[in-house]
């Protein structure tokens, strides 16, 4: 069995250290290009990557000896999982490694929005002392709807438990998951009860552009919208329209339909989005803390160790 792993992106050194303890030979090449990866991939039985390029059919076909694709993160939308699995390749990821980071980041965004912290800070820095205009709202007593109850959704519910809120959750692919942190409900109940809605779902053909004008229309109350999953699940134009009408009170967006510059500046909706005082933006960093950088690699290494008997078949 070939026991070489190509680390084709920036992973914490602990990943390489742990795999070498398991008997693998790891080549750490975080700067490698897609073109060079295609050339050398037949030498490897595994590849580890974050987001640098798509692990598509071309890459998978080039990896004639591939047995494992390791994605250092939660989402698998940059890996053609179905095709990889059809070739007998194991696909692993590490949502357990950044779930604390994501939940803490989104709660931080939520508290900032509720208490007008960004606006208040800017005004004080500019000599404006406006207590009444920056009066906040308390989180306690509100109903938070978590959409998607996987690793990140579950951790969001757990961390909200100390705030005196009611947490409800909807997951299209799960049932029977009510626990001490959350009550499972239908989507019909979500749109009736939610004061805050937080998205923790993967990007798939079903979820792309899920949050559009029709989706938002059904909410009975004005809501705060939070998204730390994938930007493409949200139609930004629809969110902006809902912000203008008051259907959305405020939005905390760690992810956007289009990310990075200069592409972001070229979007027709970006000017309005960045100038909206009730929108808080961050550059897709909710799951990217100093701690999660290490934990993600530790989780991946542990999953490799579990796979070893199957890799030897």
pLDDT band of 1, cuts 50, 70, 90: low
Strands 46-49, 4-7: pairing kind: parallel
Strands 46-49, 68-71: pairing kind: parallel
User: Which residues, including other chains, have CB under 8 Å from residue 131's CB and lie 6 or more apart?
Assistant: none
Choice among 166, 284, 294, 298 that is catalytic: 284
284 is catalytic: yes
The tens digit of pLDDT for each residue in 215-255 reads 999 999 999 999 999 999 999 999 999 999 999 999 999 99
Q: What is the pTM of this model?
A: 0.94
pLDDT band of 313, cuts 50, 70, 90: low
Whole-angstrom Cα Rg for the chain: 21
The tens digit of pLDDT for each residue in 132-181 reads 999 999 999 999 999 999 999 999 999 999 999 999 999 999 999 999 99
CATH architecture for the domain at 97-281: 3-Layer(aba) Sandwich (3.40)
Q: Pull the structure tokens for residue 43.
A: 């030498």
User: Which residues, including other chains, have CB under 8 Å from residue 202's CB and lie 6 or more apart?
Assistant: 75, 76, 77, 148, 150, 229, 230
Q: Residue 310: its pLDDT value, please?
A: 87
**Percent of the chain, pLDDT > 70?**
99
E strand or H helix at 281, and its extent? Answer: strand 279-281
Choice among 123, 259, 272, 302 that is catalytic: 259
CB atoms within 10 A of CB 243: 20
Residue intervals of the chain classified under CATH 3.40.50.720 are: 4-93+291-311, 97-281
The tens digit of pLDDT for each residue in 115-137 reads 999 999 999 999 999 999 999 99
259 is catalytic: yes
3-state DSSP assignment of residue 128: coil
Q: Residue 12: its pLDDT value, please?
A: 97
Mean pLDDT of the chain: 96
Q: Which fold has domain 4-93+291-311?
A: Rossmann fold (3.40.50)
Choice among 105, 230, 232, 257 that is catalytic: 230
The tens digit of pLDDT for each residue in 42-69 reads 999 999 999 989 999 999 999 999 999 9
Q: Residue 2: its pLDDT value, please?
A: 76
230 is catalytic: yes
Closest CA to 46 of 28, 73, 33, 21: 28
């Amino acid at each position: 069995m070939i026991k070489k792993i190509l680390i084709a992106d920036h992973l914490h050194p602990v990943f390489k250290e742990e795999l070498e303890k398991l008997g693998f030979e790891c080549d750490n090449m975080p700067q490698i290009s897609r073109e060079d990866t295609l050339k050398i991939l037949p030498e490897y039985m595994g590849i580890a990557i974050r987001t640098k390029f798509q692990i598509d059919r071309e890459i998978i076909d080039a990896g004639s000896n591939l047995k494992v694709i390791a994605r250092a993160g939660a989402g698998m939308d940059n890996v053609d999982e179905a095709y990889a699995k059809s070739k007998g390749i194991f696909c692993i990821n590490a949502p357990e490694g950044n779930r604390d980071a994501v939940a803490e980041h989104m709660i931080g965004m939520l508290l900032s929005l509720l208490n007008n912290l960004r606006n208040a800070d800017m005004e004080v820095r500019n000599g404006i002392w406006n207590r009444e205009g920056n009066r906040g709202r308390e989180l306690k007593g509100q109903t938070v709807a978590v959409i998607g109850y996987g690793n990140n959704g579950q951790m969001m519910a757990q961390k909200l438990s100390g705030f005196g809120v009611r947490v409800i959750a909807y997951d299209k692919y799960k049932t029977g998951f009510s626990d001490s942190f959350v009550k499972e409900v239908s989507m019909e109940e979500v749109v009736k009860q939610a004061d805050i809605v937080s998205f923790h779902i993967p990007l798939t053909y079903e979820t792309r552009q899920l949050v559009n004008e029709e989706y938002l229309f059904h909410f009975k109350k004005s809501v705060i919208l939070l998204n730390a999953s994938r930007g493409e699940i949200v139609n930004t134009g629809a969110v902006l329209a809902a912000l203008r009408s008051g259907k959305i009170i405020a939005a905390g967006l760690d992810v956007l339909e289009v990310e990075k510059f200069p592409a972001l500046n070229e979007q027709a909706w970006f000017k309005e989005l960045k100038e909206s005082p009730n929108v808080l933006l961050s550059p897709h960093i909710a799951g990217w803390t100093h701690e999660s950088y290490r934990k993600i690699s530790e989780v991946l290494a542990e999953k490799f160790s579990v796979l070893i008997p199957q890799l030897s078949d």
